[in-house]
Amino acid sequence: MTSQPRRFDYLSWPKAEAAAKKHGSTLVWPFGACEQHGPHLPLATDNLFAETILKKVLDRLPNEFPIWSLPSQPIGFSPEHVSFPGTISVSSNLLLDLVLEVGQQASSFGFRRLLLFNAHGGQIGLLQAAARQLRLKSPTMAVLPCFLWSGISQLEELIPVKERAEGLHAGLAETSLMMSLEPDLVGSLRPLDGEHFSKESVASPPEGWSLEGAAPWAWLTKDLSVSGVIGDSRSSNQSLGNHLQELLIDHWARLLTNLMESEWPPVT
Ligand SMILES: [Zn+2]
């Protein structure tokens, strides 16, 4: 028994053919990035989150669900981080074309749903645009662009309000989750560059404006931080990371169960 029983690319071609033709067949494609995550987290942070959380989610689903994962896409669209060494970013066109080409082939096998399971906040909009274009080109397959951290209301109980607004990168949540998943990959430095941002009067947003959210700004990391951290990771800890991990796995296992037990979305 392989340790990755739901990997599509571990199937033989006859099994892959049969898998794709099952009623409600669903493929999940994890998306990460290779980008700086401060002086204390690895470049692969987002990729590792997408891959590991998805695997744990799929392990919880009933065997009979026709759902498989693709290998993850470990290099993404990260222009905001390219001034930091180690960041490797592909162009928006390349990532969009990749989604279209892979997606159209998945659809041609007979898959009915393709879920993009993305853990990099900087490519949410691009993957949504790619998903809509793919939907147009592959009319019989639904495309669902999802972001790992979105829609989890219980985060409000675990992450303080300031950090929820400003802890966008390598802050409390990401650092704690990595301490829970791969503690050996977490370094000891804990810079506080959120302060750097709020102390600079030129960088303080006027009322109603913010980094993200309703009235956002297409910031580059170097605008906000000299260390690459946007947020405050000083109180990160493994117990918080364990909670976050459970929340994420519960949330996505529930959503995927609901999806697999349904005929959603309607594809005409
Ligand atoms: Zn990240």
100 CA from centroid of ligand 1 (Å): 24
Beta bridge partners of 114: 27, 143
Task: Give the pairing type, strands 67-69 and 142-147.
Answer: unpaired
> 169 by DSSP, 3-state: which?
strand
Q: 166 to each of 90, 106, 122, 129, how far by Cα in Å? A: 26, 38, 15, 25
Dihedral (Cα; 183, 187, 191, 193), 10-degree rounding = -70
Q: What is the pTM of this model?
A: 0.94
The model's pLDDT over 159-177, given as tens digits with 9 standing for 90+, comes to: 999 898 888 899 999 999 9
Distance 79 CA to ligand 1 centre (A): 13
Look up residue 91 and give its two tokens: 């162009």
Q: How far does the centroid of ligand 1 lie from the alpha carbon of residue 57, in Å?
A: 19
pLDDT tens digits, 14-26: 999 999 999 999 9
Domains contained in the chain, CATH given: 21-256 (3.40.50.10310)
What SS3 class is residue 1? coil
Per 3-state DSSP, what percentage of the chain is helix, strand, and coil (rounded to 5)? 45, 10, 40
User: How many Å lie between the centroid of ligand 1 and the Cα of residue 37?
Assistant: 6
User: What digits encode the pLDDT tens for the residues 20-43?
Assistant: 999 999 999 999 999 999 999 999
pLDDT at 190: 86
Contact 52/141 with Cβ under 8 angstroms? Answer: no
- Ligand 1 centroid from CA 138, angstroms: 30
CA angle 226, 232, 233 (to 5 degrees): 105
Edge-first strand listing for the sheet containing 67-69: 67-69, 26-31, 113-118, 142-147
Mean pLDDT of the region 196-213: 68
Cβ 147 vs Cβ 118: under 8 Å = yes
